[in-house]
A and B are shown apart, each in its own frame.
Chain A
Amino acid sequence: MKANDSQYILRLYVAGQTPKSTLAIANIKKICEENLHGDYDLEVIDLYQQPQLAQGEQIIAVPTLIRELPLPLRRIIGDLSNTERVLIGLDIRSKT
């Protein structure tokens, strides 16, 4: 599936292998697989390696997840452990 075709384009900014970062990666992966049915494009950006990328999105706290598409932009900060909050935050209709 081409990136352009996906309904959801998500970007997760992490800080290398800090505990919260690794947690956030695992969590978002799980949420996408269970709710987005492959209709998503997820990018993990390690600001520890490329800190300058934080400027573009105005990232202050890490990890931060940005929903690029569909507009408007949504931002969720944290390790994404609270699945409910993530779904609401990203405006993803739950499976039920």
Chain B
Amino acid sequence: MSNELESLREQLREAQETLQAIRSGDVDALMVDGIHGERMFTLSGADEAYRVLVEEMSEGALTLTAEGTILYANRRFSQMLKSPLEKVLSTNIYTWFSKEHQSILLELLQKNKEARRHKELALIASDRSVIPVYLSVSNPHINKMPDTICLVITDLTEQKQNEEIIASEKMASELLKASNESKKELLGILEEERKAKVDLAHANRDLSALSEDLVETQKRYETAEKIGKVGSWEYDVSTQDFWGSAEAKRIYGFPAESANFTTEIVEDCIPEKKRVHQALEDLLEKGTEYKLEFEIHPADGTPPKIISSIAETKYDENNKPMKVLGFIQDITQRKQAEKSLKDKKKELETIIEEAPNPIMVHNEDGKVIQVNKVWKELTGYRYSEINTIEKWTTKAYGEEMPTIKKYIDNLYELKHAVNEGEYPITASNGETIIWQFSSAPLGIINGKRTVVSSAMDITELKKKDEMIINQSRQAAMGDMIAMIAHQWRQPLTVIGMVANNIKLDIALEEEITTQELEKIADTISEQTQQLSQTIDDFRNFFKPKQEKAKTTVGNVLEGTLKIIGKSLENNNIAIMIENHSETEFLTYPNQLLQVFLNLLGNAKDILLDKVVADAKITIKIDETQDSIVTTICDNGGGIPEDAIKRLGEPYFTTKEKNGTGLGLYMSVTIVKKHLNGSLTWENKDEGACFIVTLSKE
């Protein structure tokens, strides 16, 4: 009960509230039961907002009947049409479109389409101006009038205008571009035209120059023929006519303008006309090269000439011989020059061939152009065996061939003659001969650098030299043996005497005591010792191999005095030695000893010869930066002025007796060639000094 009451009270309260709200204007819509259900009844301005929206919006809005009658149009639409609203409402929408657009519009407004339809069309306003518009159609399905069509129209004027501006701007720039292109093209064309004109002018100029040249060339050609003594000729195959240039006529001894220059007349001048004619036939028939030399007897009686003639066939389109074009040249002088050159050459060859010294002409290609008679005789080789440098050097030098060949290769660089020195050569019979060579450049012959080499056969000379050396060595040996004999004599004498004593004691039947025997034995020992020593002293001198060894001059001198010292003493010759050098150096001690021996021996000889009282030999040994100098002086009165220069000559001696004249020559040779030094002499104080200078290296 109380619940019912409560609920009733509540309902009442709500109703009161509602009434209150209505009265106070808090509500502005009521829900009313209608025939078709709940309906809203708005009190005030419910639609206002919508209405304002539609009215004020910037698009046109319409509601149309299916036929197109305008039921409602907003303010904007009437503005678009530039017509007051009352003139718009109830009019037909189609009237505001052009004929063409009407059909489109009709289609657009078809009721059957469910979706919204859009189209761009154009309105025709009341003042006949065309408004571009965008239509949006919809079927709103309003309850009251289900066929109503809703139309929203947007004014595209501004948009269109903008588009136009842009388009026109675009077009303008396109036009500008196009016009620039055309302008460029036009300029290009003009330039080409100008160039063409210039070229034409040039061509004209060239043409006139060419024709001038042609005339000039023609003249020159004729002059050339004249100078070169060359004539041109033509032979026509079909007509057998013969034509010759002015020079050709002159060569044959005809006047230059002579018209009469036929084949027969020409051939009359040629003794060998058969051969010449044959050559022409061969050229025409077989195509054989036409190039000959023959003699002619000129028609004007001048001396015979030698002619060189060359020709070629000219063919027509069918490849048949049409003409023969030829040149002739007077080569008489040339031929003479050739002949005299040949003669000269022969002369030269003969000179070389018959010369008394061996001569070889060779060039940088390694070719031996000529070897003369003497060369072949002395070496025994035939030309064919040595006609290249390679062959020659192989045969003549054997193992040394590579070195010699290389040396010869360098000869072609020569600018002047050189003396090359002595070389041993193997002859064809295996013997060795010694030649001294010299070579000289001949310049370029046949395009190659050529050299002439000549030799002097010094084999005999060398043999003589060898002989001298042998002789003097023998002489030296002889001296040595004499010295050994001398030194042995004394010990032998003592031993002999000792033997005599024993024999005498026996003969006299006298006793020999043991002490006496011992003494005798000792004496014999001593003396045999001495004999032995002498042998040792001399043995070094006879050593067969000459070897280099390090020693001092002092040592060698000592050795020398061991050999000759006693002899000097026996002859009362005093020796004084001043040694300022202790330097060891590399040399041939034996050879140096031989030299000292020779010099001391010479000094002894001269002192004895002149019977000098207080005979004295002084030996000084000094040293400089590069050499050791040994000076051997005597007081034997010196060397006679006229002999000083000749003193070192073989076979020259100032000794009164026993002078072979070889000793000093030998010593000089040894010092110079083997000991790398020098031997000189001069007069000094009371005698002569001999100076041996040796390089320390």
A residues touching B (Cβ–Cβ < 8 Å)?
A: 15-22, 47-48, 51-55, 59-64, 75, 77-79
Chain B residues whose CB sits within 8 angstroms of the CB of A19 once the complex forms: 28, 44-45, 48
**Residue of A16, A19, A77 with highest tally of chain B CB at under 10 A:** A77
Chain A residues whose CB sits within 8 angstroms of the CB of B17 once the complex forms: 75, 77
15 contacts between A and B (CB under 8 A): A16-B46, A17-B49, A18-B29, A18-B46, A19-B28, A21-B29, A21-B46, A51-B39, A51-B40, A60-B30, A61-B29, A61-B31, A62-B29, A78-B21, A78-B24
A20 and B26 within 8 A (CB): yes
A47 and B40 within 8 A (CB): yes
The smallest beta-carbon distance between B538 and chain A, in angstroms, is 146
Chain A residues whose CB sits within 8 angstroms of the CB of B644 once the complex forms: none
B38 and A63 within 8 A (CB): no
The smallest beta-carbon distance between A91 and chain B, in angstroms, is 15
Chain A residues whose CB sits within 8 angstroms of the CB of B22 once the complex forms: 61
A75 and B14 within 8 A (CB): yes
The smallest beta-carbon distance between B52 and chain A, in angstroms, is 10
CA distance A63 to B39 in the complex (A): 14
The smallest beta-carbon distance between A17 and chain B, in angstroms, is 4
Chain B residues whose CB sits within 8 angstroms of the CB of A48 once the complex forms: 29, 40, 42, 46
CA distance A1 to B44 in the complex (A): 38
A78 and B44 within 8 A (CB): no
B38 and A18 within 8 A (CB): no
Known: A61-B27, A62-B28. A15 touches B46 (CB 8 A): yes
Q: Cβ of B37 < 8 Å from any Cβ of A?
A: yes
Contact partner of B38 (CB less than 8 A), chosen from A17, A55, A77, is A55
Known: A18-B42, A47-B40, A61-B18. A77 touches B27 (CB 8 A): yes
Per-position binary interface string of chain B over residues 305-318, scored 1 when its CB falls under 8 Å from any chain A CB and 0 otherwise: 00000000000000
The smallest beta-carbon distance between A68 and chain B, in angstroms, is 16
The smallest beta-carbon distance between B97 and chain A, in angstroms, is 34
Known: A18-B46, A19-B44, A19-B45. A63 touches B27 (CB 8 A): yes
Chain B residues whose CB sits within 8 angstroms of the CB of A62 once the complex forms: 27-31, 40
The smallest beta-carbon distance between B3 and chain A, in angstroms, is 13
Please give 17 more A-B residue pairs, beta carbons under 8 A apart, in addition to A15-B40, A21-B28, A55-B38: A15-B46, A17-B49, A17-B50, A18-B28, A18-B29, A20-B29, A21-B46, A47-B31, A47-B38, A47-B40, A51-B38, A53-B38, A61-B31, A62-B30, A63-B29, A78-B27, A79-B27
Closest to A17 in B: B49
B44 and A18 within 8 A (CB): yes
Q: Which of B158-189 contact A (CB under 8 A)?
A: none
Q: Which of B643-672 contact A (CB under 8 A)?
A: none
Chain A residues whose CB sits within 8 angstroms of the CB of B47 once the complex forms: 16-17
Chain A residues whose CB sits within 8 angstroms of the CB of B43 once the complex forms: 18
Chain B residues whose CB sits within 8 angstroms of the CB of A51 once the complex forms: 31, 37-40
Chain B residues whose CB sits within 8 angstroms of the CB of A52 once the complex forms: 37-38
B residues touching A (Cβ–Cβ < 8 Å)?
A: 14, 17-18, 20-22, 24, 26-31, 37-40, 42-50
- The 7 A-B pairs at the shortest CB distance, nearest first, are namely A78-B26, A15-B29, A18-B46, A77-B21, A62-B29, A17-B49, A54-B31
The smallest beta-carbon distance between A54 and chain B, in angstroms, is 4
Chain A residues whose CB sits within 8 angstroms of the CB of B27 once the complex forms: 20, 61-64, 77-79
Chain A residues whose CB sits within 8 angstroms of the CB of B50 once the complex forms: 16-17
B21 and A61 within 8 A (CB): yes
Chain A residues whose CB sits within 8 angstroms of the CB of B46 once the complex forms: 15-18, 21, 48
Closest to B52 in A: A17
Chain B residues whose CB sits within 8 angstroms of the CB of A54 once the complex forms: 31, 38, 40
The smallest beta-carbon distance between B366 and chain A, in angstroms, is 119
B28 and A15 within 8 A (CB): yes
The smallest beta-carbon distance between B574 and chain A, in angstroms, is 153
Closest to A53 in B: B38
The smallest beta-carbon distance between B55 and chain A, in angstroms, is 14
**Residue of B40, B42, B46 with highest tally of chain A CB at under 10 A:** B40
A79 and B30 within 8 A (CB): no
A77 and B26 within 8 A (CB): yes
The smallest beta-carbon distance between B657 and chain A, in angstroms, is 162
Closest to B15 in A: A60
Chain B residues whose CB sits within 8 angstroms of the CB of A47 once the complex forms: 29, 31, 38, 40
CA distance A33 to B29 in the complex (A): 26
Chain B residues whose CB sits within 8 angstroms of the CB of A20 once the complex forms: 26-29
B28 and A59 within 8 A (CB): no
CA distance A67 to B564 in the complex (A): 166
CA distance A19 to B47 in the complex (A): 9
Contact partner of A18 (CB less than 8 A), chosen from B20, B21, B24, B45, is B45
Chain A residues whose CB sits within 8 angstroms of the CB of B20 once the complex forms: 77
Chain A residues whose CB sits within 8 angstroms of the CB of B37 once the complex forms: 51-52, 55
The smallest beta-carbon distance between B367 and chain A, in angstroms, is 122
The smallest beta-carbon distance between A73 and chain B, in angstroms, is 10
The smallest beta-carbon distance between B363 and chain A, in angstroms, is 122
B38 and A15 within 8 A (CB): no
Chain A residues whose CB sits within 8 angstroms of the CB of B44 once the complex forms: 18-19
The smallest beta-carbon distance between A13 and chain B, in angstroms, is 9
CA distance A72 to B641 in the complex (A): 175
CA distance A52 to B37 in the complex (A): 7
Chain B residues whose CB sits within 8 angstroms of the CB of A15 once the complex forms: 28-29, 40, 42, 46
Chain A residues whose CB sits within 8 angstroms of the CB of B31 once the complex forms: 47, 51, 54, 59-62
Chain A residues whose CB sits within 8 angstroms of the CB of B21 once the complex forms: 61, 77-78
Closest to B14 in A: A75
Closest to A64 in B: B27
The smallest beta-carbon distance between A9 and chain B, in angstroms, is 19
CA distance A19 to B40 in the complex (A): 15
CA distance A22 to B49 in the complex (A): 10
Chain B residues whose CB sits within 8 angstroms of the CB of A75 once the complex forms: 14, 17
CA distance A47 to B37 in the complex (A): 12
A60 and B18 within 8 A (CB): yes
CA distance A20 to B46 in the complex (A): 9
CA distance A78 to B19 in the complex (A): 11
CA distance A74 to B161 in the complex (A): 61
Chain A residues whose CB sits within 8 angstroms of the CB of B14 once the complex forms: 75
CA distance A78 to B20 in the complex (A): 10
CA distance A21 to B49 in the complex (A): 11
The smallest beta-carbon distance between B76 and chain A, in angstroms, is 20
Closest to A47 in B: B40
CA distance A17 to B53 in the complex (A): 11
CA distance A15 to B24 in the complex (A): 17
The smallest beta-carbon distance between A63 and chain B, in angstroms, is 7
Chain B residues whose CB sits within 8 angstroms of the CB of A64 once the complex forms: 27
CA distance A61 to B47 in the complex (A): 17
The smallest beta-carbon distance between B439 and chain A, in angstroms, is 127
CA distance A78 to B18 in the complex (A): 9
Closest to B38 in A: A51
The smallest beta-carbon distance between B15 and chain A, in angstroms, is 8
Chain A residues whose CB sits within 8 angstroms of the CB of B40 once the complex forms: 15-16, 47-48, 51, 54, 62
The smallest beta-carbon distance between A22 and chain B, in angstroms, is 8
CA distance A60 to B262 in the complex (A): 153
A61 and B30 within 8 A (CB): yes
The smallest beta-carbon distance between A67 and chain B, in angstroms, is 13
The smallest beta-carbon distance between B53 and chain A, in angstroms, is 9
